[in-house]
Structure 1
């Protein structure tokens, strides 16, 4: 029935969820692919789960899974990959600093490419956040050679069969383009809009935006060396 599923990781975002519902519902009416929404509640301790259940009850295209405890963004994205059944998937952060309508910009390229990621143009973040992200992206490019300027951008579209083959660990959500390249897939980045956070609080500080990802680069190098990649020529 659906062609495209948007994964929405949620961790203590009760102040944002009504706006998330409004904007994603509006997007489903203009999407160039028939779109479903999958909330992944990452063990929220506020009222997020009750709001998610109410949203899903009144909107047919919305569904959810909920963790027993907080596991982190990479785990939430991986769970979304595992549960999605449509041929295409994407994800967006529940802070809505990116615009759902920009998924249409990415979907226009997904036929030729296997991952299309946004690049946040004119970022509306603090100086420290912008600089730490710029440094972290430069370090990752040195390790991965993926050519991507903004791998942390929370707006991506991926072919589901590629996404399901990605071996995830904590922090690897920043290496999704590189992990598609390991599968001999094709990737591209497209400029998108960016907005300041309207409600709730950011979940990342200087450590997990800069120093943590540096350690993850070495994990990626180990993964690249050990990654199993094969193509089936025939079956019977």
Structure 2
């Protein structure tokens, strides 16, 4: 079966969300604009997530997984997902279902013109502290990267796999995907998407890794941007 689009699902201790996620993903695969498959990346979960993921994959041929020995964080999970993707397009969504897989079609409708299309959460269903810390982080990042994106933390993105595989990886990467596509000379776009409250499980991000951590990562990005190598071969005889 020829797939065109891989949906990466980073998972860390989400046992209470996975069966609902399976149902929503199956509904999406029926209406997807591109022939799609799912790749779970279990980021060293200590609950029953791996057991549930294996059961899901055993009954759904379009679902696959990889599993880390220990927890490495969201950026590492995304890197692994990119490394194991073999389709032309790749995207990701969080396993908490605060965004909907159905909105992938909104993003995919623009991917012929752009190299990365990201969601922008509207009417967010988060706590005031979470929204304020996220807004602060986005302001810092936008100032440093000049990527023009209002919500790079939105866990709903689609990008061309060749761009994804060429992104220099570091912890905190997930906040800089649009800026890193721009470094490669790519084109990016943001699209408003729906947002929902978390119904089960706990958020893996607190004040530190929503605000202070991203501020520090901005300096890492500036250093990397200065050192970044990007070239285009105009002619060859190999």
Equivalent-residue separation in structure 1 for 2:92 and 2:75 (angstroms) = 12
Equivalent-residue separation in structure 2 for 1:231 and 1:200 (angstroms) = 45
Report the equivalent of 1:58: 59
Deviations 1:15-39 (A, max 9, x none): 0000110000110000010000000
Local SS of the residue matching 2:31: coil
Equivalent-residue separation in structure 2 for 1:153 and 1:224 (angstroms) = 22
Query: Structure 2: 5+ residue runs without aligned partners?
Result: none
Deviations 1:76-119 (A, max 9, x none): 00000000000000000000100000000000000110000000
Whether 1:83 and 2:89 are equivalent positions in the alignment is: no
1:133-212 equivalent positions in 2, closer than 5 A: 133-212=134-213
Deviations 1:30-75 (A, max 9, x none): 0010000000000000000000000000001000000011000000
Local SS of the residue matching 2:192: strand
Report the equivalent of 1:101: 102
Q: How many residues align?
A: 236
> What TM-score does the superposition give when structure 2 sets the normalisation length?
0.98
Report the equivalent of 2:117: 116
Deviations 1:121-170 (A, max 9, x none): 00000001001111110110100000000000000000000000001111
Query: Structure 1: 5+ residue runs without aligned partners?
Result: none
Report the equivalent of 1:41: 42
Equivalent-residue separation in structure 1 for 2:235 and 2:174 (angstroms) = 32
1:206-221 equivalent positions in 2, closer than 5 A: 206-221=207-222
Equivalent-residue separation in structure 1 for 2:26 and 2:61 (angstroms) = 10
Equivalent-residue separation in structure 2 for 1:69 and 1:234 (angstroms) = 44
Equivalent-residue separation in structure 2 for 1:99 and 1:56 (angstroms) = 20
Report how far residue 234 of structure 1 moved: 2.9
Local SS of the residue matching 1:60: coil
> What TM-score does the superposition give when structure 1 sets the normalisation length?
0.99
Deviations 1:216-236 (A, max 9, x none): 000000010001101122334
Stretches of 4+ moved more than 4 A in 1?
A: none
Equivalent-residue separation in structure 2 for 1:39 and 1:172 (angstroms) = 19
Equivalent-residue separation in structure 1 for 2:45 and 2:82 (angstroms) = 20
Equivalent-residue separation in structure 2 for 1:113 and 1:234 (angstroms) = 25
